Chains A and B, each alone.
Chain A
Amino acid sequence: MTKTNKFTSGRFVAYVFMAVFLGYFLLPLLWLVIGSTKTNAGLFSSFGFWFDKDFNLWQNIQDVFSFGDGVFFLWMRNTAVYAVVASIGSSLISALAGYAFAQYRFAGRDLIFGVVLASVFVPTTVFAVPLYLLMSKTDLSGSLWAVILPSLISPFGVYLMRIYAEQAIPQDLIDAARIDGAGELRIFATIALRLIAPGYVTVLLFAFVGAWNNYFLPLLVLSKSELYTVTVGLAYWNSVVGPQATSIPLYPLIVTGSVIGTLPMMLVFLFLQRFWQNGLALGSIKG
């Protein structure tokens, strides 16, 4: 024990190594945050990792929200609605299904689970393009439902919930509740759901971040710019950023919009970090 507390050259090398990589992972974010305080001219003329003499953050935030009739606000709202509805819905659906796989023996169980698991390996593109075609034939294509509904289905979430339910729910407890005459749905809602809550929160978090950061599916199925999510919107600004393409220079808007669009994720991430750890341990159990 005393040996590990002593300062050694090995420890020094390890610390330097880890610190260098801490810089690698955090400096680009620092660059982004500093960039959001600059004017367009400032972005080009001042050093990227330090502030310019003009502190333009408030003006940039105003510009982000007023540009294009305030479309950025709609993008933020759409993203929030999409992420909240899709994550709550998909984690609940996954919990129900995972519980069924863990708790009951029924005809076709292994076959169905096998098919669900296999679908994790199929590239999203294979589903996404036909989804666009099918959505465009219905009324859904004009609403956020086009991106919410497919996101409710998460085969990996079902897999995680099954593993978690198998570990966390003692069979005796369920049997006892049955003998007491509790119905199956009540057993799920009052006993099982409480026991699998930590795993459930993890699946919920992954779904939330996954939806917030999703780009491919919203890009395909959302046709009108007022329906875009933040990622699709920022990518759109990036595609038209060229000189004199817009009334005001877009670079500060993209940089500041990136900060605003990422901030909710950072907060979710930092405040709920213990749940991540939890869930990642889960995924590797039966790897």
Chain B
Amino acid sequence: MSLAKTSNLAAPKPGFSWHRFKTKVIPYLFLAPFLLGFVVFMIYPLVYAFNLSLYRNKMVGGLSFVGLENYVKAFQDADFWDGVGNVLIFGAMQIPIMLGLALLFALLLDGKLIRHQTIFRLGYFLPFAIPSVVAALIWGYIYGQSFGPIAQIAKALNLDPPLFLTASGIIPSIANIATWQYTGYNMLIIFAALKGIPDELYEAARVDGASDLQIALRIRIPIVMPAILLTLIFSIIGTLQLFNEPNILRFVAPTAINSHFTPNLYVYNLAFSNRQFDYSAAIAFTLAIVTAVLSSLVLLAAYRREK
């Protein structure tokens, strides 16, 4: 009798249980601050912007619902695709150089060839701590004809100073700024992944007579491929959103950088110079679609190769 009584006490009571309620609610309480902010500052603006993109402010009749008309316009907008083309050229040039260098640096620093690692690691990573605005200002001056050191050296040698800030030079010039800023960051991500490879793996390969190059190509690079893929995806997303550097450089290169030089510059100028918030929202969403398509294509290609 008494035994049944005690077990009865320990067993959860039928119906409402304060304990069960508590364990169900607690995870949501931990999540609450984040979720609240996520809904207010991300989901709601997203919904608001999408709704906005379905309207157009017309000369006659004011704001009116136009459905997907802004999107049809966006898909036919040469200015928008011009900007997309610019960032794609930029990315095709900059991302392979940056990630190739980052991988090479990481492999060299992880090997036994280079000592004084810390100096290189810190020095290469330091530009990441510089605000991109300041990075663009510094390089803008370095590229410039008025007091740029490159032009100074060229003049001293009686050479024509290279033209960095012209229509043909501007994309490589911005690519160089991005490479300068982010190579060290990507290097560290790959370096951290390399550090996770156990030494026994190399030793086994060495015993089998593999050279350093073979070990790099056959063992180290394949193992850090997920990390490289991560840096690639983040680089693609960052590239499509290129804004800070061109928005600073347009003051030193007004002929090379127009109001729709990159999609984000276009969105910004549509909203704040033209006050076309509805159309600018439609362009922003179209950019999001382009981003989603591109990153999933890359992920799909990577997944296929793995198989």
Contact = CB atoms under 8 A, between A and B. Distances in A.
A212 B129 CA distance: 10
A94 B148 CA distance: 44
Interface in A61-85: none
A114 interface: no
Given A29-B126, A130-B52, A281 B134 contact: no
Interface residues of B, number: 91
A169 interface: no
B256 interface: no
B287 interface: yes
A55 interface: no
9 contacts: A44-B146, A97-B33, A126-B288, A127-B49, A129-B49, A129-B268, A266-B129, A280-B189, A281-B192
Contact of B152 (A47, A119, A212): A47
B129 A268 contact: yes
A99 B27 CA distance: 9
A230 B133 CA distance: 9
Interface of A: 4, 10-11, 14-15, 17-18, 21-22, 24-26, 28-29, 31-32, 35, 43-44, 47-49, 93-94, 96-97, 99-101, 103-104, 106, 109, 112, 116, 119, 121-127, 129-134, 149-150, 152-153, 155, 158, 184, 188, 209, 212-213, 215-216, 220, 230-232, 234-235, 238-239, 241, 251, 254-255, 258, 261-262, 265-266, 268-270, 273, 276-277, 280-281, 283-284, 286-287
Given A104-B26, A270-B122, A31 B108 contact: no
Contact of B46 (A44, A122, A184): A122
Contacts of B46: 122, 126-127, 130
A30 to B, nearest CB: 10
B41 A131 contact: yes
Nearest to A1: B112
A253 B62 CA distance: 46
A212 B131 contact: yes
A129 B138 contact: no
B192 A280 contact: yes
B277 interface: yes
A287 B229 contact: yes
**A-B pairs with lowest CB-CB distance, top 4:** A48-B149, A287-B230, A281-B192, A100-B30
